Amino acid sequence: MGEAIDLEIVLAQAVTVSKPKPATLIGAGLIEELHDFVEINSVELVIINASLTPIQQRNLERALDTKVIDRTGLILEIFGARAATKEGTLQVELAALTYQRSRLVRSWTHLERQRGGLGFIGGPGESQLEIDRRLINERIDRLKRDLGKVRTTRELQRSARKRVPYPIVSLVGYTNAGKSSLFNRLTGAGVFVKDMLFATLDPSMKLLQLPGGKKVILSDTVGFVSDLPHELVDAFRATLEEVLQADVLVHVSDISSEFHQEELADVEAVISDLWELEEDSTLAESEKVPPIVSVWNKSDLLSGDEREELKDRSDRQDNTSLVSAVAGEGIDDLIEQVEKILSSRDQVLSVDLPYSDGRSLSWFYDHGTVLERNDNTDTDTIEITVQLDPIAHQRAIILAEKESLRLY
Ligand SMILES: Nc1nc2c(ncn2[C@@H]2O[C@H](COP(=O)(O)OP(=O)(O)OP(=O)(O)O)[C@@H](O)[C@H]2O)c(=O)[nH]1
Ligand SMILES: [Mg+2]
C-alpha cells in the first residue's frame, strides 16, 4: 500500500509477535535491529501494520528515532492523498481528527508531560490536554457543519459530473490486485488522448480511445482492504465517490493470491454496500450497480496447468478475462469485454446535415461511430447514420434542436 502515497520502500518485513509488549508491541531485540537499520539507511518513516496504542507509538518513535505510524495512520494518509471531492476531503479530515482525538484522551499523560505545565494559553485550570481537546472538538464541529452543506449540493454536483461527455470505466479491487499496473498497461495500449477539457483531471483518470473507436475515461481507484478500521468507513466511502459515477466497473483481482475468494467477496460486499447506500437516497431508477467485468490478474504467476484451467473457465464465464497486467496477456480480451458492454447500450440514429455545417459533422465523427454516409449534391446535404453511446445520444438531441437538424 505504501506506493500509493509515493513512499520508497526500503524494507518490508513480516514478524511474529508471540507476546505483545504493552509498552512497544514488539520486543527489545527487534527494536534494536530496526534501530540500526533505520540509522544506517536514514529511514524517515516506519509503518507498523497493526494497531498501536498512543503510548506504543510514542515509545517506538523514541526508540527508533524516527516517525512511526500504524495501519490506521497509513490508511488515513492514503485516503487523504486520494480524496478527490470536497466531500471526500472533509470526510477524511474528520476521520483523522477523530482518530487524533481518541489518541489524545488515552495518551494524556504523554501530552501533558511533553507540552509542559505552563498553561498560559488556556484559562485558569485548563490543562494543555483540555485545550487540545477543545480545539479538536471545535474543528470537528466545524467540519460536520461544512459536510452538511456540501451534501446538500451533492445532487447538483452529480448532475454536473454526468455532463462529462464520455463513459467512465473504473478499476476497482482489493489492494495490491494490480489496478494501477493495469491502468498503466491500458493507457499504454489504447491511444491516450490529450484533451484540453481534461487537463484538470487528476492523474488517476485518463481519457483514452479504445481500438474500436470509443473514447472512455479510465479511472484508477484506491484499493479495498479487509478489516478496515471502523472509524474509517465513511472516509473510505467518500474516496470512492467517483466510483459511483462509473458506467462500467472493472473488478481486478489477484488470481494467484491464496485468498482470492475472500478478496473477491470483500470487494463485492463493498460494491453492493456502496450502491445500496445510494438507493436509500433520492436517486433515479437508472442509478444501479453498473455492469462489472471481472479481471483475474497476475496470470503469469500461475503454473502451466492452472493457467490452462483458469483460461478455460474465464472463457466460459461471461464478462471475465484472465489477464497479466505485467506480461500483457489477455489485455485485448479485456478491452473487447468492455467494448461489448458499452456497445450494448448504444443507439443508432440518422441525421441530415447541411454541407455548410462542418462543425456538427465533425461533432458526430468525434462522439460516435459513423456507420454510413451519403453526400447528396442535389440538396447540398450529408446524410449520416451514426452509433452513439447514451451520453452522446442525449447530447446529439440537444445539438439537433439547437442547429435545427433532422434526426430519425
Ligand atoms: N507478476 C505480476 N505482478 C503484478 C501484476 N500486476 C501487478 N503486479 C504487481 O503487484 C503489485 C501491486 O500492483 P499495483 O498495480 O500497485 O496494485 P494496486 O491494485 O494498484 O494496489 P493498491 O493501489 O494498493 O490498491 C506490484 O508489485 C505489481 O508489480 C501481474 O500481472 N503479474
Ligand atoms: Mg493502485
Closest Cα to atom 11 of ligand 1: 176
Say whether both 251 and 339 belong to one domain: yes
Residue 130 one-letter amino acid: E
Residue 284 confidence (pLDDT): 54
Separation CA 126–CA 136 (nearest Å): 15
Q: How many Cβ atoms from other residues are within 10 Å of residue 152's Cβ?
A: 8
Q: Where is the domain boundary, 44, 77, 110? A: 77
Which domain covers residue 121, as residue numbers? 83-152
> Does 239 sit in the ligand 1 pocket, CB within 6 Å?
no
Say whether both 294 and 352 belong to one domain: no
184 found inside a domain: yes
Mean pLDDT (whole number) for 232-256: 83
Separation CA 253–CA 179 (nearest Å): 8
Tell me if 334 sits within 8 A of 341, measured CB to CB.
Answer: no
Residue 153 confidence (pLDDT): 60
Residue 207 one-letter amino acid: L
Residue 190 confidence (pLDDT): 56
- Count of structural domains within the chain: 4
Neighbours of ion ligand 2 (CB under 5 A): 179-180
Q: How far is the CA of 187 from the centre of ligand 1 (A)?
A: 16
Q: How far is the CA of 108 from the centre of ligand 2 (A)?
A: 37
For residue 184, the ligand 1 atom closest to its alpha carbon is 15
- The three-state secondary structure class of 257 is coil
Lowest mean pLDDT among 185-199, 250-264, 307-321: 185-199
Percent of the chain with pLDDT over 90: 41
> Does 256 sit in the ligand 1 pocket, CB within 6 Å?
no
Say whether both 38 and 173 belong to one domain: no
Say whether both 210 and 143 belong to one domain: no
Say whether both 138 and 187 belong to one domain: no
Q: How far is the CA of 297 from the centre of ligand 1 (A)?
A: 9
From residue 353, alpha-carbon distances to 318, 356, 357, 396, 407 in Å are: 40, 8, 7, 12, 10
> Does 146 sit in the ligand 1 pocket, CB within 6 Å?
no
Give exposure, 366-385, as e/b (b: 16+ Cβ within 10 Å).
ebbbeeeeeeeeeeebbbbb
162 found inside a domain: no
Q: Dump pLDDT digits (tens) for 93-128.
A: 888 888 877 776 444 344 444 444 443 444 445 566
- Given a cut of 70, whether residue 171 has pLDDT beyond it is yes
31 found inside a domain: yes
Query: Around 257, how many Cα atoms within 13 Å sit in the side-chain half-sphere?
Result: 16
- Of the bound ligands, which one is closest to the alpha carbon of residue 179? 1
Per-residue pLDDT band at 130 (split at 50, 70, 90): confident
Pairwise pLDDT comparison (160 vs 257), residue with the higher score: 257
CATH for 379: 3.30.70.240
Separation CA 230–CA 100 (nearest Å): 15
Q: Where is the domain boundary, 329, 344, 359? A: 344
Tell me if 91 sits within 8 A of 147, measured CB to CB.
Answer: yes
240 found inside a domain: yes
Closest Cα to atom 9 of ligand 1: 178
Q: Which of 78, 180, 306, 324 to mutate to test the pocket of ligand 1 (most atoms within 8 A of CB)?
A: 180
- Of the bound ligands, which one is closest to the alpha carbon of residue 75? 1
Cβ-count burial of 167 within 10 angstroms (0-12 exposed, 13-18 middle, 19+ buried)? buried
143 found inside a domain: yes
Lowest mean pLDDT among 149-163, 205-219, 310-324, 387-401: 149-163
Q: Dump pLDDT digits (tens) for 324-380.
A: 999 999 999 999 999 999 989 889 999 999 999 999 999 999 888 899 999 998 989
Say whether both 179 and 325 belong to one domain: yes
Report how far Cα 129 is from the mean position of its chain's Cα atoms: 37
26 found inside a domain: yes
Residue 107 confidence (pLDDT): 41
Percent of the chain with pLDDT over 70: 81
Say whether both 45 and 7 belong to one domain: yes
> Does 325 sit in the ligand 1 pocket, CB within 6 Å?
yes
177 found inside a domain: yes
Q: Inter-axis angle of helices 390-403 and 358-367, to 10 degrees? A: 170
Say whether both 198 and 128 belong to one domain: no
Q: Where is the domain boundary, 29, 45, 77? A: 77
